[in-house]
């Protein structure tokens, strides 16, 4: 299924890279370095790119539908959208994490005081007992 | 009514002792809690020596996160009143009693110390005065809050405001946004006249160049107020 748009060698290389990348993401999920929720966008978008690499004709019809003159430009545009989406989802995850960190730091400050109070209470009780 | 003064402090070992001594002298019936916002100097030790309860944050969260820690403490310990004053001596605690009036009378939930009503004292640069006027106009337009000094960090909160601020408080440059959140949450916001002093050491956290950046940032924050009350992860306590 060679295609004028994509020489076979390039197609094979692209697919191999995408599959390795896909597998890497799955590996990260399997070994709990990445939660399934956070990896979902990566898996979906990588899968979509893989489909385009397997069937470059799709890209050509897409380019035609969007009135893009050169199909590879449609590819670049899609690539940018793909990266932008993933970066945005990353920023959202980061914002969530920093909200949590802030709340945890505050909780630490409150707990420190609680511990100090319990400690001095215990100490004074021990003092009274002896 | 049980009342707490929250003093957010970041590397304030020089000015804090005087602030705490003045609080003890002028407002002895208020409990004082210093929020040490990840200081690298002796702020926490100095605060403890000054007889304050110290909430030590493990890292620097910025003024918003520090102040919120104080409100969380107020909620946790069942305080009905929580005031916040700066740790650098700008705010004179003698005004605390006067500020309590509207909250005791049940006519206000949040009372803000304004240097622009009444006379005298330190009023900052012309650019920042203009900025304050612009922000107060913007606040009234955006959420109907009538406040002449929206950047003032001298405030007294009643039970409803404590509840709101413990649950959600903006993080950087939080003062005007906190007023907007309060007004949007149906809280009654009032002002009382204060005379502010010039800080003794150090310079304002916001220099002349950054004032414009500050105004843009705060305007955006006010425009994009959260659609509902922000959902913060609540940790049962």
pLDDT over 70, % of chain A: 95
Distance from C-alpha of A111 to C-alpha of A114, rounded to nearest angstrom: 5
> Are residues A44 and A88 located together in one domain of the fold?
no
- Coil, strand or helix at B154: coil
Asked if residue A63 is part of any domain, the answer here is: no
> Are residues A45 and A75 located together in one domain of the fold?
no
Q: What angle do CA A47, A48, A52 make, to 5 degrees?
A: 115
Count of beta carbons in the 10 Å neighbourhood of residue B57: 23
B182 close contact with A: CB closer than 8 A: no
Distance from C-alpha of B176 to C-alpha of B189, rounded to nearest angstrom: 12
CA nearest to B173, candidates B232, B132, B144: B132
Q: In Å, how far are A41, A49, A76 from A83, measured between CA atoms?
A: 11, 12, 11
CA nearest to A41, candidates A75, A86, A71: A86
Distance from C-alpha of B187 to C-alpha of B161, rounded to nearest angstrom: 7
Contact call for residues B47 and B54 (beta carbons, < 8 A): yes
> Are residues A36 and A89 located together in one domain of the fold?
no
Confidence of residue A17 (pLDDT cuts 50, 70, 90): very high
Asked if residue A62 is part of any domain, the answer here is: no
Contact call for residues B104 and B158 (beta carbons, < 8 A): no
Contact call for residues B19 and B85 (beta carbons, < 8 A): yes
The number of folded domains in chain A is 2
Q: Which chain B residues contact residue A108 at CB under 8 A?
A: 57-58
Give the bridge partners for B31, in sequence order: B4
Size of interface A-B (CB pairs under 8 A): 42
Confidence of residue A45 (pLDDT cuts 50, 70, 90): confident
> Are residues A46 and A76 located together in one domain of the fold?
no
B76 close contact with A: CB closer than 8 A: yes
Contact call for residues B151 and B195 (beta carbons, < 8 A): no
- Is it the case that residue A2 has pLDDT exceeding 60? no
Q: Which chain A residues contact residue B72 at CB under 8 A?
A: 106, 110
Q: Report how far apart the first and last C-alpha atoms of chain B are (Å, whole number).
A: 22
CA nearest to B142, candidates B215, B213, B230, B220: B220
A117 close contact with B: CB closer than 8 A: no
Contact: A105, B237; criterion CB under 8 Å: no
B7 close contact with A: CB closer than 8 A: no
> Are residues A75 and A50 located together in one domain of the fold?
no
Contact call for residues B32 and B60 (beta carbons, < 8 A): no
Asked if residue A61 is part of any domain, the answer here is: no
> Are residues A80 and A107 located together in one domain of the fold?
yes
Asked if residue A91 is part of any domain, the answer here is: yes
pLDDT of residue B235: 46
Four-residue CA torsion sign, A116, B3, B232, B112 = negative
Q: What is the pLDDT along chain B (237 residues), one digit of tens a residue?
A: 799 999 999 999 999 999 999 999 999 999 999 999 999 999 999 999 999 999 999 999 999 999 999 999 999 999 999 999 998 888 999 999 888 999 999 999 999 999 888 766 666 778 888 888 999 999 999 888 889 999 999 999 999 999 999 999 998 889 999 999 999 999 999 999 998 887 766 555 566 788 888 889 899 988 888 766 544 444 444
> Are residues A29 and A79 located together in one domain of the fold?
no
Instruction: For residue B233, give the nearest of A100, A110, A112 by CB distance.
Output: A100
pLDDT of residue B98: 87
Distance from CA of B16 to the nearest CA of A (A): 19
- Chain-centre distance for alpha carbon B222: 17
Q: In Å, how far are A50, B24, B35, B71, B80 from B159, measured between CA atoms?
A: 57, 23, 20, 10, 5
Distance from CA of A96 to the nearest CA of B (A): 9
Asked if residue A59 is part of any domain, the answer here is: no
A65 close contact with B: CB closer than 8 A: no
Q: In Å, how far are B63, B100, B147, B163, B228 from B169, measured between CA atoms?
A: 10, 22, 18, 11, 13
Interface of B with A in 99-138 (CB under 8 A): none
Contacts of residue A69, defined as CB under 8 A and 6 or more positions apart, other chains included, come to: A63
> Are residues A75 and A27 located together in one domain of the fold?
no
> Are residues A129 and A90 located together in one domain of the fold?
yes
Q: Domain range spanning residue A5? A: 1-54
> Are residues A47 and A82 located together in one domain of the fold?
no
Residue-wise pLDDT for A74-126, tens only, equals: 878 888 988 898 899 889 989 999 999 999 999 999 999 999 999 999 999 88
Distance from C-alpha of B89 to C-alpha of B20, rounded to nearest angstrom: 9
Asked if residue A64 is part of any domain, the answer here is: no
């Amino acid at each position: 299924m060679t295609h004028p748009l994509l020489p076979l060698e390039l197609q094979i290389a692209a697919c191999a890279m995408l599959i390795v990348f896909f597998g890497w993401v799955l590996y990260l999920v399997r070994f709990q370095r990445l939660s399934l929720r956070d990896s979902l966008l990566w898996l979906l978008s990588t899968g979509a790119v893989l489909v385009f690499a397997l069937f470059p004709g799709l890209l050509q019809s897409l380019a035609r539908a969007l009135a893009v003159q050169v199909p590879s430009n449609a590819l670049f545009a899609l690539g940018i959208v793909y990266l932008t989406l993933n970066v945005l989802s990353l920023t959202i995850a980061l914002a969530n994490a920093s909200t949590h960190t802030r709340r945890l730091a505050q909780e630490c400050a409150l707990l420190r005081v609680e511990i100090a109070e319990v400690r001095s209470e215990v100490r004074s009780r021990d003092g009274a007992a002896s | 009514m049980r009342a707490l003064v929250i003093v957010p402090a970041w590397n304030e070992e020089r000015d804090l002792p005087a602030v705490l001594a003045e609080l003890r002298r002028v407002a002895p019936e208020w409990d004082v809690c210093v929020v040490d916002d990840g200081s690298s100097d002796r702020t926490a030790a100095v605060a403890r020596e000054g007889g304050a309860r110290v909430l030590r944050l493990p890292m620097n969260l910025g003024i918003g996160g520090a102040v919120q820690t104080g409100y969380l403490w107020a909620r946790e310990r069942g305080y009905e009143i929580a005031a916040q004053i700066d740790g650098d001596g700008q705010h004179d605690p003698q005004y605390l009693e006067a500020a309590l009036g509207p909250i005791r009378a049940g006519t206000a939930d949040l009372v803000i110390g304004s240097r622009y009503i009444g006379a005298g004292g330190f009023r900052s640069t012309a650019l920042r005065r203009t900025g304050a006027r612009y922000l107060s106009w913007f606040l009234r337009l955006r959420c109907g809050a009538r406040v002449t000094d929206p950047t003032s960090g001298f405030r007294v909160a009643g039970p409803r405001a404590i509840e709101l601020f413990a649950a959600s408080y903006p993080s950087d440059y939080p003062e005007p946004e906190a007023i907007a959140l309060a007004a949007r949450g149906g809280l009654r916001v009032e002002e009382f006249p204060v005379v502010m002093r010039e800080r003794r050491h150090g310079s304002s956290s916001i220099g002349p160049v950054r004032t414009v950046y500050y105004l843009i940032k705060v305007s955006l924050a006010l425009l994009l107020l959260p659609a509902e009350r922000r959902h913060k992860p609540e940790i049962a306590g």
